[in-house]
């Protein structure tokens, strides 16, 4: 196994030509490094655990939208704060020898996915409110 291959012997998709990357990973811009992907038995997700978490956080934010309405400033600010754990976890991995875990990647990704939509929803609601008032 070379230094460019992961635990499954498959190179990270960032080393593959764009046309050979799994479609989901290429579309999301995910690195697809195999040892950072969810694995259940022999099956391995085509995108990393953090991206799976992001995608899991989006429907939760949509449910919150229907339950609680468009996010106001407080919820949008809280959404921005939910991005911080993923930024710290991913940033530490990128900048140091720190190795996160699959569970930590998934959880920080889910928080970030929820936070992204809360932040964008809050900004959109504020913008639409300002346009309607003006």
Which residues contribute to the site for Zn ion (CB under 5 A)? 30, 48, 51
- Kindly tell me which of 44 and 72 has the beta carbon lying closer to Zn ion: 44
- Residue 10 CA: distances (Å) to CA of 52, 98, 118: 19, 22, 36
- Kindly tell me which of 46 and 79 has the beta carbon lying closer to Zn ion: 46
CB of 63 to Zn ion, least distance (A): 23
CB of 52 to Zn ion, least distance (A): 8
How many CB atoms are closer than 10 A to CB 108?
25
CB of 62 to Zn ion, least distance (A): 21
Q: Give the residue among 126, 108, 115 at the shortest CA–CA distance from 58.
A: 115
């Amino acid at each position: 196994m070379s230094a460019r291959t992961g635990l499954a012997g498959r190179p990270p998709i960032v080393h593959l030509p764009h046309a050979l990357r799994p479609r989901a990973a290429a579309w999301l811009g995910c690195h697809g490094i195999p040892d950072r992907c969810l694995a259940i038995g022999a099956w391995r997700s085509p995108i990393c655990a953090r991206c799976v978490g992001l995608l899991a956080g989006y429907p939760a934010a949509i449910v919150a939208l229907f339950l609680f309405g468009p996010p106001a400033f407080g919820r949008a600010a809280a959404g921005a704060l939910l991005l911080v754990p993923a930024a710290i976890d991913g940033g530490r991995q990128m900048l140091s020898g720190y190795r996160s875990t699959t569970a930590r990647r998934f959880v920080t990704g889910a928080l970030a996915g929820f936070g992204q939509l809360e932040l964008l929803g809050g900004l959109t609601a504020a913008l639409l409110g300002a346009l309607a008032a003006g």
